[in-house]
Amino acid sequence: MADPNNPPPGECPQCWRHAHDKSIHARQDRRTDCAECVDHMLNGHPTLVPGRRRWW
Ligand SMILES: [Zn+2]
Ligand SMILES: [Zn+2]
C-alpha cells in the first residue's frame, strides 16, 4: 500500500505525501490550490527519491 511517509524511488517526497495523506489538503479550502503542489507543477520537483523505479 502507498505509505505517505515512504515515497518510492523516482517520486517527489512532497507530492507523494500530499497525494496520499488526505489530511494535508483537507485542512485547507478545497477550492484553493495547494501552493506547494502548484509550485511543483509549474517549476518542477526540486528533489526526487533516489534509486530506480520499481514499477511503471
Ligand atoms: Zn513535487
Ligand atoms: Zn499539496
Q: What is the count of structural domains for the chain?
A: 1
Task: Say what the pLDDT of residue 44 is.
Answer: 97
Residues, beta carbon < 5 Å, ion ligand 1:
12, 14-15, 40, 45
CA of 49 to the centre of ligand 1 (A): 11
Distance 15 CA to ligand 1 centre (A): 4
CA pair distance 54, 19, nearest whole angstrom = 19
| Residue pLDDT tens, the chain, 56 long | 789 999 999 999 999 999 999 899 987 766 678 999 999 999 999 999 998 755 55
Domain of 22, in residue numbers: 1-56
CA 38–ligand 1 middle distance (angstroms): 9
